[in-house]
Amino acid sequence: MKRFDHFINGQWTAPATGNYLDSENPATGKPWSQIAQGTEADVNEAVAAAQKAFDGEWGAMTATRRGELIWRMGDVLLQNVDKLAELETLDNGRILSDMKGIVGYLAEFFRYYGGLADKIEGAVPPVEKPNYFNYTRHEPFGVVAALVPWNSPLLLTVWKLAPGLAAGNTFVVKPHEFASAGALELASLMAEAGFPAGTVNVVTGLGQDVGVPLVAHPDVRKIAFTGGDVAGRAIAKSAADDFKPITLELGGKSPNIIFADADLDAAAKGTVMGMFTTNGQACVACSRVLVHKDVAEKFNERLIYHTSAARLGDPMSKDTDMGPLISASHFDRVMGFVNEAREQGASCILGGEKSTREGLEAGYFLEPTILGNITNDMRIAQEEVFGPVMACLTFEDEEEAIRIANDTRYGLGAGLWTEDMRRAFRVSNRLQAGSVYVNSFRVVSYMSPFGGYKQSGIGRENGLEAIREYQQTKSVWFNLNEDAPAPFGKPYG
């Protein structure tokens, strides 16, 4: 099997203990590689390398030069699309055709933030104090800990690296143990592209062995995390001990509202795209569908039709639309949600079982599942399942739709489908979500901020706002007075 070491200080580095973890291919249920099983000793080495780079070559580099290197990574990604996409597909089961598109698109993130690197300006406030000159600077924090999940590891790593590096920080990345290969290869490519040693380091392993000491490390000055709210809460508590700033994206239970006047076929296709093309393993997947009772039957017909067309199979094949869930334990967790919902009275409109399609028996394949007769107090409607399981509810009027949509502790995304643009503005303003999609779902751009309300997180990724997440503001004062008054009215001498 292929073996991956840590990537520390610009080179592949064996784990301090010499131990490795198997990484499974979820399509086959068999190990395909091994990753270094890191410990606190490896974390300390990586943080020291990142600190040295920040204090040295990377920190001394002009913003323009940093931007040139970051921009160059866009070209490097495009030259390595096939390699990076294949690693991601082997590691987490996302279909290869999607991964190639994602890797290619990530080039634009590096170019966008590379272009912004030397355009981060301070200000000269017109302060009211005579004979004082004041200006502000936006400065990096230093070493940033970036912790990324298994569902889109390369994408979510770049979402942190591109703005954070443009802001002048260095990084230690901790990918999930289920899917570490992409982040490791990316760090290696960045070193080849000319980034100084230690600018981006990757330490792999289990959360308690690597993530916990990384978050708590005294030289880590900023934490960026994407993952579940349980881990996010633990990270926030740890960060509070040293008052470290945090950016957290913690998932959601995103509602998708289908009004009676919507184009039902477009709404059904958009709903399937927003849910099943990622196998439901996306933080902003539209896992709660709210349909006006007058069109529920017609909409469900279209929803079932378009969902049923999904081809489950080998994620490396160009003929596959949906791949497997990430692991056996996650498969069991998702099925637990489905079975509990059935016990509570939900009807299974489609799917709901492990796939029996030929050749898929050994992998973690779940048929795309649509559940009806759902009420919003059921666990299936309140908690993030993170699998291809859609909960369908009905509503009678606009007020009820908004009430149900907002009745969750999450607030990452929300969608609505209507031909009435007055309604679209009215409802989108009242939905409690960081992103609202009108007649669409699950759209992102490097130019537009992404993040959550409520327990879906803190801070924003992407857009101009993301750079501010990785900077602190300094206010500098110059005294222009030729003489200073005696503080207590008695001049010296």
Residue with tokens 């978050």: 215
Contact 245, 279 (CB under 8 A): no
Extract the tokens encoding 459: 């801070």
Report helix angle 96-116 to 81-92, nearest 10: 120
* Catalytic annotation present for 283: yes
d(CA 7, CA 14): 9
Residue 392's alpha-carbon distances to 42, 95, 296, 467, 472, in angstroms, are 46, 26, 9, 38, 44
User: Catalytic one among 88, 177, 283, 384?
Assistant: 283
End-to-end CA distance of the chain: 82
HEC states along the chain?
CEEECEEECCEEECCCCCCEEEEEECCCCEEEEEEECCCHHHHHHHHHHHHHHHHCHHHHCCHHHHHHHHHHHHHHHHHCHHHHHHHHHHHHCCCHHHHHHHHHHHHHHHHHHHHHHHHCCCCCCCCCCCCEEEEEEEEECCEEEEEECCCCHHHHHHHHHHHHHHCCCEEEEEECCCCCHHHHHHHHHHHHCCCCCCCEEECCCCHHHHHHHHHHCCCEEEEEEECCHHHHHHHHHHHHHCCCCEEEECCCCCEEEECCCCCHHHHHHHHHHHHCCCCCCCCCCCCEEEEECCCHHHHHHHHHHHHHCCCECCCCCCCCCECCCCCHHHHHHHHHHHHHHHHCCCEEEECCCECCCCCCCCCCCECCEEEECCCCCCHHHHCCCCCCEEEEEEECCHHHHHHHHHCCCCCCEEEEECCCHHHHHHHHHHCCCCEEEECCCCCCCCCCCECCCHHHEECCECHHHHHHHCEEEEEEEEECCCCCCCCCCCCCC
User: Catalytic one among 249, 367, 384, 461?
Assistant: 249
Contact 449, 460 (CB under 8 A): yes
d(CA 20, CA 232): 26
Find the largest Cα–Cα distance for the chain: 97
Residues assigned a catalytic role = 249, 283
